[in-house]
Amino acid sequence: MLSTGSEPYLGILLEYPGNIRLDERTINLSSQTGKRESNGRAVPGKPAQANIGVIGVGNYAGRVLIPVLKKAGASLVVIANTGGITGVHYGKRYGFQRVTTDVESLLRAPDIDTVVIATRHDSHARLVVDALRAGKHVFVEKPLALTIKELEEIRQVWSELEGSEQKILMVGFNRRFAPLIQQMKRMIADVREPKILVATVNAGFIPKDHWTQDPQVGGGRLVGEACHFIDLLRYLVDAQIVSWHVQTVAGEGIVKDDKVTFTLAFADGSIGTVHYVANGHKGFPKERIEVFGGGRVLQLDNFRALRGWGWPGFRVVRLWRQDKGHAACAKAFVEAVRSGGPAPIPFDELIEVGRLTIAIGEAARR
């Protein structure tokens, strides 16, 4: 209710400043802050400048992804978000030039050469295809797709653009870029025999009616979240995954694909097991990665402490704070865009991990 000391109002007329163009559903933040707007254009044959348009600004994008992209040196140009207030908030906070609710205008924008997709999972594949066809480099938060059909469409578009028009496609598999994972990778490179790897993910409880649990919207937690660890083991072993097996808990009326164990067999003879559990205690480490091989063991706890047994001159290294590789992942992507490649993660690996994750997720739900 409005209290004015006079008669009640029947209506309220809101007048917006001239820099808000309602017909284009776009707010120009540059004129509000006095910041000069970039008029850069993509130049054929020359590397892009990582002029970024972000589609979707939720909690993760606003608090983690956009800050690390900015730190990596990307030019933050436009946000497209269905919630105008949220978009304006983060747009002003991080220095974007404009905010829009029109995704198509972002994809058509000539001053955008790179698109970052941070929407809900069911829109990822469609936006990846649209962005690639629009001639943009793409960073998409995991998962890449929710179905094999979507994955095949991405692969088809990628094949059509092969050559001078092909862009960099990146999925936000940040854990492979974490500093302690990089150290593990270097250390186990000398272990020539097959290895045993174990990833224990104490993921925590999420209600069954949460959108991430919906196979049609979020894909379920295996597809939407456990894909990180399929990619991580694939990266550490550095060999193709040739077979897999999945086992879920038994019981009626419970979510099964967030209480699951699956095993991966690699072409070099190595075996990887992922225990993804939502029924543990939050006091236990959330993520633990172990590698056994050559009479040696490495154990990574919560991306903060790496311990070794059987490694001459090495016992433990600790970080002051947890580092899951978000900043290094963003930096690798931005540098690849500006240098013209290669992509930080090979396209074939993205498709391999995506296809395997979808298959495991479907098997777990059955």
Which CATH number is 158's domain given?
3.40.50.720
Q: How far is CA 229 from CA 59, 117, 193, 353, in A?
A: 22, 21, 22, 10
Residues 110 and 187 in one domain: no
For 68, phi then psi, to 5°, come to -75, -30
d(CA 76, CA 54): 8
Q: Is residue 13 part of a domain?
A: no
Per-residue model confidence (pLDDT) at position 212: 86
Residues 125 and 186 in one domain: no
Split at pLDDT 50, 70, 90, the class of 5 is low
Per-residue model confidence (pLDDT) at position 113: 96
Residues 92 and 145 in one domain: yes
Q: Is the pLDDT of residue 42 over 90?
A: no
Q: Is residue 247 part of a domain?
A: yes
Residue whose C-alpha is closest to residue 234's, from 176, 186, 306, 194: 176
The residue to which tokens 């017909």 are assigned: 23
> Exposure of 353 by Cβ count < 10 A (0-12 exposed, 13-18 middle, 19+ buried)?
buried
The tokens of 318 are what? 């600790």
Residues 148 and 197 in one domain: no
Split at pLDDT 50, 70, 90, the class of 9 is low
Residues 28 and 164 in one domain: yes
d(CA 67, CA 60): 10
d(CA 156, CA 179): 34
Residues 159 and 215 in one domain: no
pLDDT one-digit tens code per residue, 162-206: 776 679 999 999 999 999 999 999 999 999 899 999 999 999 988
Q: Is residue 3 part of a domain?
A: no
Q: What share of the chain is helix, strand, coil (3-state, %, to 5)?
A: 35, 20, 45
Q: Is residue 220 part of a domain?
A: yes
Total number of domains in the chain: 2
Split at pLDDT 50, 70, 90, the class of 353 is very high
Q: Is the pLDDT of residue 18 over 50?
A: no
Considering the chain, what percentage of its residues have pLDDT values greater than 90? 70
CATH of the domain at 197: 3.30.360.10
Residues 37 and 96 in one domain: yes
The tokens of 304 are what? 């903060």
Last residue of a domain, one of 156, 172, 188: 172
Split at pLDDT 50, 70, 90, the class of 207 is confident
Question: Can you tell me the mean pLDDT for 228-247?
Answer: 97
Per-residue model confidence (pLDDT) at position 257: 81
Residues 252 and 342 in one domain: yes
Q: Is residue 229 part of a domain?
A: yes
Q: Is residue 10 part of a domain?
A: no
Domain with 285, as residue range(s), is 175-365
Region of poorest pLDDT, from 13-22, 68-77, 143-152: 13-22
Residues 139 and 199 in one domain: no
Region of poorest pLDDT, from 78-87, 121-130, 167-176, 278-287: 78-87
Last residue of a domain, one of 134, 155, 172: 172
Q: Is residue 56 part of a domain?
A: yes
Residues 148 and 287 in one domain: no
Q: Where are the beta strands (DSSP E) in 152-240?
A: 169-171, 196-202
Residues 117 and 264 in one domain: no
Per-residue model confidence (pLDDT) at position 131: 97
d(CA 324, CA 319): 11
Last residue of a domain, one of 119, 154, 172: 172
Residues 270 and 358 in one domain: yes
Q: Is residue 8 part of a domain?
A: no
